[in-house]
């Protein structure tokens, strides 16, 4: 990978993570993930955000790309840390061994966090909203604090000459980047793929901080950016409004009402609960509502979070297991609660052989996690569901879908491209 010219005096360096890495140690990366770093060249050179240091090949790749554009480590005057998390700052250990000249620029909390990771002796500079650094040749970096876009120390950097907002996690997405790295270099299909991965990234990493992300989007809008250059995923140079609007849509789902979509999460031990899924899906789609179906534990919760985040309704179908819920379902519910999948319309379907108990555990988790889900009356069946039960399931799923249509805040689902992950298909109509 070589350094890429983005706009006048603005370059992007990058390292891709691939599927052998779990993002944050837990989220799968089937399409990879890019870690973008930016170089702004005036008379002085600034690097804005960087790459992780867990693999020494990452900083080495950054230095090679820097050399490829006619600079080297000794030329770097400033390193701007928009966000101190080590996926963007891990390389600093190696950089600080190579040069003492560099000044590390961050918010007050950013400096505090950076000191804890990279030592107190480096040359730090604290900046606040409105502070600037003039690099010469018209290149001025202006800093704008946007706290709690993931961590509390976050800010964005606005480069005044190009109108680029270097936004770090904000407006980011999973998905590795190749030669095409800007939206104006990609097909609609490629962009759709990155939008899928933006949703998964958002729901996995940023969802918990949605109110802060919403405030940060408004702050960035006031800058009227010509370019949005995040630290993960594509650079939005042709149409920066597109990613800002998509992210605004994501943040609005924190209230519960979202797209006219029902996420169906199910687990089965011997096929009896599985038999309930087809009538449930038929009930949902008979109302023109999209059903996205995930089987647990076969599907990683990363994907379930993505569809649950954009859904107005959730259906859970699982057997009882030792007086409680099927354990993989309980684990997924805990994660949905942690990630603020709240205020959803919901319906539970349970099967059992000799004892109930799943409902009690469900209520305990929903209450403890303050999820505020509003449930239709559950349907429980013993052993093999008969025709009457299957008909009831279809009708109740249709009932939920009707309520979802009324409550959804978007008239239609966004045209994300990912199919249902357990092969049962999805789609409205
Ligand atoms: Fe990309 Fe919150 O780090």
Nearest CA to ligand 1 atom 3: 85
Q: What is the CA radius of gyration of the chain?
A: 24
Task: Say how far residue 3 (Cα) sits from the centre of its chain.
Answer: 26
pLDDT-above-90 percentage for the chain: 92
The candidate with the shortest Cα–Cα distance to 112, out of 100, 101, 103, 124, is 124
For 338-370, the pLDDT digits (tens) are 999 999 999 999 999 998 899 999 999 999 999
Residue nearest to atom 1 of ligand 1 (CA): 169
Mean pLDDT over 302-321 rounds to 98
Does the CB atom of residue 209 touch ligand 1 within 6 A? no
**pLDDT of 418:** 52
Coil vs helix vs strand at 163: coil
Q: What is the pLDDT of residue 316?
A: 98
pLDDT at 248 over 90: yes
pLDDT at 20: 87
Average the pLDDT over 177-187 and give the result: 96
Nearest to 410 by CA among 333, 311, 300, 328: 311
CA distances for 46 relative to 43, 79, 310, 367, angstroms? 10, 6, 38, 49
- Judged by average pLDDT, the poorest of 55-59, 105-109, 197-201 is 55-59
Instruction: Output the CA 51–ligand 1 centroid distance in Å.
Output: 10
pLDDT in the model for residue 425: 46
Which of the four pLDDT bands, split at 50, 70 and 90, describes residue 417?
low
Nearest atom (ligand 1) to Cα of 232: 1
Average pLDDT of the residues of the chain: 95
Is the previous residue joined to 297 through a cis bond, with omega within 30 degrees of 0? yes
User: Does the Cβ of 153 fall within 6 Å of ligand 1?
Assistant: no
Separation of CA 311 and ligand 1 centre (Å): 25
Does the beta carbon of 150 lie inside 6 Å of ligand 1? yes
Give me the pLDDT at residue 421, please: 45
pLDDT at 109 over 80: yes
Q: Does residue 169's CB lie within 6 angstroms of at least one atom of ligand 1? A: yes
Is the pLDDT confidence value at 259 over 80? yes
Q: Is 183 near ligand 1, meaning CB less than 6 Å away?
A: no
Dist. CA 389 → ligand 1 center (Å): 47
Q: What is the mean pLDDT of residues 179-207?
A: 97
Quick one: pLDDT band at residue 422, thresholds 50, 70, 90? Answer: low
Residue 88 Cβ contacting ligand 1 at under 6 Å? yes
- Count of Cβ atoms closer than 10 Å to residue 221 Cβ: 14
| Cβ–ligand 1 contact at 87 (below 6 Å) | yes
CA of 216 to the centre of ligand 1 (A): 15
Indicate the pairing of strand 76-80 with strand 374-375: unpaired
Distance 63 CA to ligand 1 centre (A): 21
pTM as predicted: 0.96
Q: Measured from the CB, is residue 49 less than 6 Å from ligand 1?
A: no
Q: Check pLDDT > 60 for residue 74.
A: yes
Q: What pLDDT was estimated at residue 321?
A: 96
Distance 24 CA to ligand 1 centre (A): 8
What average pLDDT does this structure show over 318-332? 97
Instruction: Please state the atom number of ligand 1 nearest to the C-alpha of residue 24.
Output: 3
* 82 Cα to the center of ligand 1, angstroms: 10
Per-residue pLDDT of 393-411, as tens digits, reads: 999 999 999 999 999 998 8
Residues 6+ away with beta carbon under 8 Å from 388: none
* Region 105-110 average pLDDT: 98
Separation in Å, CA 360 to CA 1, 335, 350 = 54, 18, 12
CB 195 within 8 A of CB 416: yes
Ligand 1 atom closest to Cα of residue 150 = 2
88 Cα: distance to centroid of ligand 1 (angstroms): 7
Is 70 exceeded by the pLDDT of residue 174?
A: yes
In the reported structure, the alpha carbon of residue 84 is separated from the centroid of ligand 1 by a whole-number distance in angstroms of 8
Which one is predicted more confidently, 19 or 271?
A: 271
């Amino acid at each position: 990978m070589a350094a890429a010219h983005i706009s006048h005096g603005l370059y992007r360096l990058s390292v891709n993570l691939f599927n052998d890495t779990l993002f944050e140690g837990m989220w799968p990366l089937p399409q990879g993930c890019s870690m973008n770093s930016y170089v702004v060249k005036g008379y002085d050179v600034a690097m804005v955000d960087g790459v992780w240091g867990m693999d020494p090949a990452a900083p080495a790749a950054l230095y090679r790309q820097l050399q490829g554009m006619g600079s080297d480590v000794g030329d770097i005057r400033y390193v701007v840390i928009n966000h101190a998390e080590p996926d963007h700052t891990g390389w600093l250990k190696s950089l600080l061994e190579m040069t003492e000249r560099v000044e590390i620029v961050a918010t007050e909390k950013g400096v505090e966090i950076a000191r804890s990771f990279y030592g107190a002796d480096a040359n730090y500079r604290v900046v606040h909203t409105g502070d600037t650094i003039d690099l010469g040749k018209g290149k001025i970096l202006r800093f704008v604090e946007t706290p709690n876009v993931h961590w509390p120390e976050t800010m964005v950097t606005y480069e005044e000459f190009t109108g680029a907002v270097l936004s770090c996690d904000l407006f980011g997405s999973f998905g590795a980047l190749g030669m095409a790295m800007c939206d104006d270099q990609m097909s609609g299909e490629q962009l759709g793929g990155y939008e899928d991965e933006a949703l998964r990234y958002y729901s996995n990493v940023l969802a918990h901080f949605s109110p802060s992300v919403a405030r940060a989007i408004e702050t960035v809008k006031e800058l009227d950016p010509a370019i949005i250059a995040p630290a993960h995923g594509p650079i939005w140079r042709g149409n920066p409004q597109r990613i800002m609007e998509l992210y605004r849509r994501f943040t609005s789902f924190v209230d519960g009402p979202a797209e006219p979509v029902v996420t169906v999460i199910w687990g089965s031990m011997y096929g009896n609960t599985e038999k309930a899924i087809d009538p449930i899906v038929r009930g949902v789609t008979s109302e023109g509502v999209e059903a996205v179906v995930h089987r647990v534990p076969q599907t990683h919760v990363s994907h379930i979070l993505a569809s649950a985040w954009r859904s107005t309704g959730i259906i859970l179908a699982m057997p009882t297991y030792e007086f409680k819920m099927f354990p993989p379902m309980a684990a997924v519910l805990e994660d949905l609660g942690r990630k603020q999948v709240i205020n959803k319309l919901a319906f539970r379907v349970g099967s059992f052989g000799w004892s109930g108990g799943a409902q009690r555990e469900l209520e305990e988790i929903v209450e403890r996690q303050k999820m505020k889900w509003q449930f239709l009356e559950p349907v429980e069946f013993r052993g093999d569901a008969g025709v009457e039960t299957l008909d009831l399931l279809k009708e109740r799923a249709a009932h939920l879908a009707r309520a979802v249509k009324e409550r959804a805040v978007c008239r239609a689902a966004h045209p994300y491209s990912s199919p249902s992950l357990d092969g049962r298909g999805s789609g409205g109509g």
